[in-house]
Amino acid sequence: MKISFYVLSESKAQDFLGFICQLTQTALNKSTQSLLILIEDDAALLSALNEALWTQEATSFIPHQYLLDADTDINHKTLAPILLSSYMPANFKGMVLNTTIYPVNTFMAATNNAQPTRVLELIKPDATSVQEGRHKYKSYQQLGYELTHFNV
């Protein structure tokens, strides 16, 4: 699995939702795979991101849907290309944009058969986010994943 770390500049971090929308639109344009945006169990962030995805550009929106029930069996053919969730759905095969403090592999229980093809990690320019990013990097490195990083 390929893991890309995006180390955000101060200006990108100040427009965190805007950057997520920008990265989401780029992924949507470059791939036919679904993109799962993993979010902590945070109703305010989920609501703000939902609004941002609907209003990213004045003339368009980024098609997405919530995955609310972890027990729901997903059908990839009927899903929106962008998914918002606080869990990794069973049998998920696609890209993951991880906004949580945990490495993606912690969401992949042995029985759910999720196989993300790529993970996008966002690192804000504050001490806590940098420390969490280092922890994730070491975790992925130990698992032998291909790691890249970009300063944006």
Domains of the chain: 2-107+123-151 (3.40.50.10110)
Compute the residue count for the chain: 152
Q: Do residues 135 and 106 lie in contact, with contact meaning Cβ atoms separated by under 8 Å?
A: no
Output the CA torsion 47→50→56→62 (10° steps): 180
Least confident among 7-16, 83-92, 137-146: 83-92
Q: Name residue 44's amino acid.
A: A
Q: Quick: pLDDT tens for 3-44.
A: 999 999 999 999 999 899 999 989 888 988 889 999 987 778
CA–CA separation, 112 and 35 (whole Å): 17
User: Is the pTM higher than 0.85?
Assistant: yes
Six token digits for residue 120:
């996008």
Whether the predicted pLDDT of 55 surpasses 80: no
The pLDDT of residue 131 is 97
